[in-house]
Chain A
C-alpha cells in the first residue's frame, strides 16, 4: 500500500486533531520538560558570572599603587584603568589620599575618598549614627574606635588640623570595619587634597572588578604599560578564594541541573510511553489494514516531529520566562536570551518525544494485530 502525500498529510492531521485532549497533554508535558531544560541550561551558563558579581561583596580585589620611583599616583592612573575595563566589569574605583592629621590634639590617620564609591568598593563597611540614612554625601566619617577614644559622637563638629591648615566638618556617621579604618577619619577627596596640600595626587586606587584571576593579572600588566610609574596587582588571596568558591557553586548547580534534567526526561518518557501504549488498538488496526512497520514508524515520527517542534518552541519561550523568574529572585537581574538554545531545545524535545513513541511502538507492532483487536492485550 502506498500513500499519496495528500493522504498521508490528511492521516497525520486527523490523527492529531481527533485526539485533541491527549495531544494537548503530550504537548503540555513535552513543553514543560523543554522549558525546564532550557531554564536550567541558562541558569548553569549564567551562574558563574552572576555569582562572581555577588562575590564582589568582598569588596576591592585590585590595587594600584605608585611604582618604585614615584611618591604618588595621578588621576591619569584612574582614567587608564577605566579605559582598559568595560563598564560592566568594573563595580567601582576608590581613590584614596592618606596623611596624618590632628584632631582635638591627638594624631590620627585621615583619608580622602569618594563617599559615593563606598557601597561599591567596600560594601561591608558598617555605618552607624546616621539613623540608617545610607552613606552620607558630605561631612566626615569617623572610625568607631577613634570616636570612642576621642569622645566624639555622630553629629559633633570636629576640626582636623594639619600644619597651619584647618578643616571643619560635622561627623555624619561612624565607621566600623574591624580593621585599621576603625581608628581613622575619612573626608571627601577634594577637601582632603586641600587640607593635605597635595592637589592632584592619589596614594592608592582600590578597584572592585569582575573577572577571573588571569584576567585581573592581564589587566595589571596592561595598566602598568598604559600608565608608566604605577604598580598594579590583584589581591590574590581574594581572587583565588573566589575562584575556588565559584568552582564549587558551579559544580553544585551542575549536579542539580543534571538531576533535574534527568528526572524531567524520565518522567516525560514514561508519560509518553503510557500515551502511545493506549493507542495499541489503533496501531493494530493500521497494521491489519496493511501498513508496514516502517510506514507506521514514519507516521509516528511525523506526529512526534510536529508536537516536538511545537513543544520545543513553546518550551523555549516558557523556559526563558522561568530562567528570568529564577534569576530575578536570585540575583535581581534579567537573563539575556541565548540564541544557541533555539535549535537545541526543539531538537531535545523531538528526541524525547521520538524515544517516547518508538519504544512502545516497537512493543506494540511485535504483537499480532488480531489478538490486540480481539482485546486479549
Chain B
C-alpha cells in the first residue's frame, strides 16, 4: 500500500520532477565536460610544447673536449667521430618509437663566402622518411622547429644548392630571400652557387649559420655516412621522484624500480634506450627544453585540475540549493506520505534515488557535451581532433553521481524536519 502511494505520489507531476532532474543533469554535465577537457589538455599541451624544439641530442662519444668560443673553434683539427646516419632508422624502432616526433642530422663545415668565413650546416629540412609501420613519416629541421620565423620559404631537400640563411649571416653578407649566394667549398674545384630560399631569425646560435641540404655538406666532408650530431624531439613524461633518482644514481634502484623507469617515457629513459641501439654515441637530454617542459606541463595539469575541482564543487553546491528548494516545494506531499506511514528513511532513499538517476543522466550528457567541447578546442587551438576515450565514461558517470549525491546529502535531511500535522494543517 505504502509503496503504491509513494509511487503514485512521485510519479504525479512528473514533468516538474523531470525538470529538476534535468537541471541537476545540466550542472553535472558542465562539470563533466570540464573534466573531459582536463584529461585531454595535458596531453595536447605536452605535444604543443614540442614546438620549443628538440629535447634530445645524439653526439658521438669521444675523448676530445669541445673548444668552441664565440663562434670560433679552437680545436678544429679534432675530428670527433660521428653518428652513423643509417642507424637513425632505429629511432623509430625502439620501444618509444611513437614518442619520437621528429629528428634531424647536422653536419657542420666552415666555408668561405664573399663577406668572410661562415658556418655551413647540412641538415634535412622536411624529408619523407619511411619507417616501420608509418609510410608517411616526415622529419627534419622544420618538424623540429615548427614555430621558427622564416622570411621567404623553407628550402626543398631535393634542391641541393639551396639554403636557409641565419639572420645575422644574411646581414653580414647582404643577402635576402631570393638572392644567390656564392660560397667556396673546401676541397672542391668550383664554387657553389646557393639559392637563398629563406632567412631565419631565432635570436640564438642559428642566426650565425647557413642551413643547406645534408647532401651538400656531405660533398665537402666526403662520404662515410657520419654526421656531427642529431637532434631529436620526443614526447616525454614530466620527471618525478623516480626519474630524478634514476638520473643521479641508477645503480641504487631496485630491479622493479628500474623496470618501471625503463618502461616510462622519461627523457632519460628514452636517451638510455637510444644509446642502447646506436653504438658509439652519447644521447643527452637538452635540459633547457626537457626540464622546462616538465615544469610547464605540470603547471598546466595543476591548473586544469584546480579548475575542474572548483567546477565540480560548484555544481555540487548548485545541486544543494536546487535540492533545498525542491524539498521545500514538495513539503505537502512529503507530509502526506509521512502521515500515511512512510518512514523518513524510505523518503530519503527515494529522493537520493532520484538524484542518482539525475547523476547518471548528467554524467552521460556531460560526457557527450565534454567530447564536443573538447573537439572544438582541439580543432581551434591544436588543429587536430582529440582522442575520444570511451574508457572514461564509467569514471565520469561515477563522478557525476558523486557530485549529485554529495550535493543532496544535507538538504535531504530537511525531510526529517517536515512535521506532517503542521504542514497539512497549512501552517
Q: Are A and B bound to each other?
A: yes
CA distance A238 to B147 in the complex (A): 10
Cα-based distance from A235 to B207 in the complex (angstroms): 10
Please state if B329 and A36 are interface contacts (CB–CB under 8 Å): no
Centre residue among B202, B282, B321 by max chain A CB count within 10 A = B321
In whole angstroms, what is the CA distance A248 to B56 when docked?
25
The answer for the CA separation of A329 and B307 in the assembled complex, in Å, is 11
Select from chain B the residue with minimum beta-carbon distance to A108: B65
Binding stretch for chain B, among A4-12, A83-91, A252-260, A344-352: A252-260
A270 to B358, CA, bound (A): 15
Instruction: Tell me, yes or no, whether B45 is within 8 Å of chain A by CB.
Output: yes
Q: Give the distance in Å from the alpha carbon of A149 to the alpha carbon of B321 in the complex.
A: 70
- For B41, list chain A residues within 8 Å (CB): 252
Q: Is the CB of A326 within 8 A of B65?
A: no
Q: Which of B204, B290, B317, B329 contacts A235 (CB 8 A)?
A: B204
| A212 CB to nearest B CB, Å | 15
> What's the nearest-Cβ distance from chain A to residue B386, in Å?
12
Asked if residues B70 and A98 are in contact (CB atoms below 8 Å), the reply is: yes
> Which of A155-163, A274-282, A302-310 is found at the contact surface with chain B?
A274-282
Task: State in angstroms the CA–CA spacing of A276 and B23 once bound together.
Answer: 17
Q: Does A179 contact B (CB under 8 A)?
A: yes
Write out the residue numbers on chain B whose beta carbons fall within 8 Å of the beta carbon of A322.
Answer: 310
Contacting pair A263 B315 (CB below 8 A): yes
CB atoms of B318 and A264 under 8 A apart = yes
Contact B322 A271 (CB under 8 A): yes
In the bound complex, residues from chain A placing their C-beta under 8 Å from that of B325 are 25, 271, 274-275, 278
Let me know if A112 is at the binding interface, CB within 8 A: no
Per the CB 8 Å criterion, the residue count for chain A at the interface is 78
**Chain A residues positioned under 8 Å from B246 (CB to CB):** none
B199 in the interface (beta carbon within 8 A):
no
Residues of chain B with a CB closer than 8 A to A128's CB = 248
User: B288: which of A63, A179, A268 is its contact (CB, 8 Å)?
Assistant: A179
Question: Among B25-33, B115-123, B132-140, B349-357, which stretch is in contact with chain A?
Answer: B25-33
- Determine the distance from Cα of A355 to Cα of B378 in the docked complex, in whole angstroms: 34
Q: Kindly state the separation between the CA atoms of A43 and B318 in the bound complex, as whole angstroms.
A: 21
With both chains docked as a complex, state the minimum distance between the C-beta of A195 and any C-beta of chain B, in angstroms: 15
For B288, list chain A residues within 8 Å (CB): 58-59, 122, 124, 177-179
The one of A59, A99, A183, A252 in contact with B377, judged by C-beta atoms closer than 8 angstroms, is A252
B245 CB, nearest partner CB in chain A, Å: 11
Q: Are B328 and A278 in contact (CB under 8 A)?
A: yes
Enumerate chain A residues within 8 angstroms of B206, measured Cβ to Cβ. 237
Interface-lining segment among A49-57, A74-82, A221-229, A361-369? A49-57
Q: Does A126 contact B (CB under 8 A)?
A: yes
Take A124-B291, A240-B147, A330-B302 as given contacts and tell me if A270 and B23 are in contact as well, using a CB distance cutoff of 8 Å.
yes
Interface string of A24-60 (1 = CB under 8 A from B): 0100110010001001100100010001001101110
Choose one: B302, B307, B322, B381; the contact of A256 (CB below 8 Å). B307
The answer to whether B324 and A107 have CB atoms under 8 Å apart is no
Chain B residue, CB-CB nearest to A322: B310
- The B interface is mostly helix, strand or loop, or mixed, namely helix
B295 contacts partner chain A, Cβ-Cβ < 8 Å: yes
Bound form: Cα–Cα A236–B200 in Å: 10
The residues of B that contact A266 with a CB separation of less than 8 Å are 23, 26-27, 30
Does the CB pair A234–B203 fall under 8 Å?
yes
- B26 & A263 in contact (Cβ 8 Å cutoff): yes
Q: Which residues of A contact B247 (CB under 8 A)?
A: 126
Q: Which residues of chain B in 370-386 are interfacial with respect to chain A, using CB atoms and an 8 Å cutoff?
A: 373, 377, 380-382
Contact A149 B284 (CB under 8 A): no
**Nearest CB in chain B to that of A150: its residue:** B65
Within 8 A of A (CB), among B286-300: 286-292, 295-296, 299-300
- Asked if A263 and B310 make an inter-chain contact with CB atoms under 8 angstroms apart, the answer reads no
Number of A-B residue pairs having CB atoms within 8 Å of each other in the complex: 219
A277 to B49, CA, bound (A): 52
CA distance A88 to B184 in the complex (A): 50
Residues B169-226 near A (CB distance < 8 A): 201-204, 206
Across the interface, A252 reaches (CB within 8 A) one of B69, B296, B304, B310, namely B304
Q: Measured between alpha carbons, how far is A23 from B394 in the docked complex, in Å?
A: 38
CB pair A32 B317 closer than 8 Å: yes
- CB neighbours (8 Å) of B63 from chain A are 149
Q: Contact check, B291 vs A57: say whether CB atoms are below 8 A apart.
A: yes
Contacts A260-B311, A267-B321, A326-B310 given; indicate if A182 touches B203 (C-beta within 8 A).
Answer: no
Q: Say yes or no for A115: interface residue by CB 8 A criterion.
A: no
B43 part of interface (Cβ distance < 8 Å): no
User: Which chain A residues border B317 with CB–CB below 8 Å?
Assistant: 29, 32
Chain B: minimal CB distance from A190 (Å): 20
Known contacts A146-B65, A178-B288; is-contact A260 B314 (Cβ 8 Å): yes
- Check: B326 CB closer than 8 A to any chain A CB: yes
**What are the interface flags for B10-46 relative to A under an 8 Å C-beta threshold, 1 for contact and 0 otherwise?**
0000000000100100110011011001000100010
| B-side contacts of A264, CB under 8 Å | 314, 318
Question: Which residue of chain B has its CB nearest to the CB of A28?
Answer: B321
Name the CB-closest residue of B to A103: B65
For residue A278, which residue of chain B has the nearest CB? B329
Which residues from B are CB-within-8-Å of A244? 48, 51, 147
Whether B314 lies near A253 (C-beta < 8 A) is no
Chain A residues with Cβ below 8 Å from B74 are 100, 107
Nearest CB of A to B79, in Å? 16
- The reply to whether the CB of B9 lies closer than 8 angstroms to some CB of chain A is no
A122–B74 alpha-carbon span in the complex (Å): 26
Please, how many angstroms separate the alpha-carbon atoms of A266 and B22 in the complex? 12
B344 interface residue (CB < 8 Å to A): no
Most buried by B among A125, A177, A238, A244: A238
Complex alpha-carbon distance, A241 and B166, angstroms:
18
- Return the 9 tightest CB-CB contacts between A and B, nearest first: A267-B318, A274-B325, A263-B30, A236-B203, A124-B291, A29-B321, A237-B202, A271-B321, A57-B295
The interface of chain A, by Cβ under 8 A from chain B, is 22, 25, 28-29, 32, 36, 39-40, 43, 47, 51, 54-55, 57-59, 63, 98-100, 106-109, 122-126, 128, 145-146, 149, 176-180, 182-183, 203, 233-241, 244-245, 248-249, 251-253, 255-256, 259-260, 262-264, 266-268, 270-271, 274-275, 277-278, 322, 326, 329-331
Q: Can you list 5 A-B pairs with a CB-CB distance of less than 8 A?
A: A124-B287, A146-B65, A245-B49, A259-B33, A270-B322
Sample of 15 more A-B contacts, CB < 8 Å, known A22-B328, A330-B302: A25-B324, A36-B314, A40-B310, A109-B68, A124-B292, A203-B70, A237-B148, A241-B51, A245-B296, A256-B37, A256-B307, A259-B373, A274-B326, A278-B325, A322-B310
